[in-house]
Structure 1
Amino acid sequence: MKRTGILNAELSGALATLGHTDLLLVVDAGFPVPRDAHRIDLALAENLPDLRTVLGLIADELVVEGVVRAEEVPSHHPRLDAWLHGRFPDAEFTTRPHSEVLGELARQAKVVVRTGAFEPWGNIGLFCGVDAPRWFGGEGVIVPESYASKL
């Protein structure tokens, strides 16, 4: 039996397939997941599991270099935005029109994880990164400028 981390076999396995620049979407209960998406449905009931719990558990297992959310989140859901900035302090944050999150971004995602969240604009994209110190910390390795600040 696994001792720690995510116990859901499908989600744990999907996370292991993600590489640098891959997109994982963690979405609310009402998200229109594309038919051909790798959908992992964790929703049991209203807010079970909630968005922050799922994002937090995933954040413990992934290197996240980018967070994308709907344009409305910073102004219309500032508590969620503040939580995201606190949970992913080293990530680059961007916004997209809500319609793009529901459409283009959803089609781009390698994995879509549906939560039970009943939360406005509760659809968050996580772009996978690399652990810069582990990749570029070796002796004699020239660190790309984009990763120098992460060492």
Structure 2
Amino acid sequence: MKRNGILNVELSGALATLGHTDLLMVVDAGFPIPRTTHRVDLAIAENLPDLRTVLSLISDELIVEGVVRAEDVTTNSPHLEEWLQQQFTDAEFTTRTHADMLGELAKQAKVIVRTGAFEPWGNIGLYCGVDVPRWFGGEGIIVPDYYASKL
């Protein structure tokens, strides 16, 4: 038996498929997931599981270098925005239109995780990164400028 971390076999396996720059989306219960995207459905009932719990557990297992959310989050959901900023302190934040989140971005996602969240604009994209010190910390390795601040 696994000692800790995500126990859900499908979610754990899906996370293991992700590499640098891959997009994972964690979405609310009503998100229109494209048929061709790998879907991990965790929804049981309203707010079970909730968005923040799933994002928090995933952030313990992935290196996240980018967070994308609908521009409505920054203006209309300040509590979610504040939580995201505190949860993903090392990530670069970007916004897209709500329509882009539901359409174009969803089609680009390698994996979409559906939660039971009933939360406006509760659809968050996470871009996977690399563990910079482990990749570039070796002797004789020249660190690219864009990673130097993360060493």
Indicate the TM-score class for this superposition, using the shorter chain for normalisation.
over 0.9
Amino acid paired to 1:132: V
Q: Which runs of 5+ in 2 are unaligned?
A: none
Provide the identity percentage. 77
Per the TM alignment, residue 10 of structure 1 is displaced from its structure 2 partner at its CA by 0.5
TM-score, with normalisation over the residues of structure 2?
Answer: 0.99
Q: Distance in 1 between matches of 2:43 and 2:8?
A: 12
Q: Which residue of 2 aligns with 1:91?
A: 91
Q: Distance in 1 between matches of 2:74 and 2:36?
A: 30
Q: Which runs of 5+ in 1 are unaligned?
A: none
Q: Distance in 2 between matches of 1:67 and 1:40?
A: 19
Mapping for residues 139-150 of structure 1, pairs under 5 Å: 139-150=139-150
Q: Which residue of 2 aligns with 1:45?
A: 45
Mapping for residues 72-91 of structure 1, pairs under 5 Å: 72-91=72-91
Asked if 1:134 corresponds to 2:142, the answer is no
Q: Distance in 1 between matches of 2:75 and 2:28?
A: 19
TM-score, with normalisation over the residues of structure 1?
Answer: 0.99
Mapping for residues 5-44 of structure 1, pairs under 5 Å: 5-44=5-44
Q: Distance in 1 between matches of 2:26 and 2:102?
A: 12
Q: Distance in 1 between matches of 2:36 and 2:19?
A: 20
Amino acid paired to 1:119: E
Amino acid paired to 2:145: E
Asked if 1:105 corresponds to 2:94, the answer is no
Instruction: Give me the CA root mean square deviation.
Output: 0.3
Question: Runs (4+) of structure 1 moved beyond 2 Å?
Answer: none
Q: Distance in 2 between matches of 1:134 and 1:35?
A: 36
Report SS of the residue matched to 1:46: coil
Report SS of the residue matched to 1:60: helix
Equivalent residue pairs, number: 151
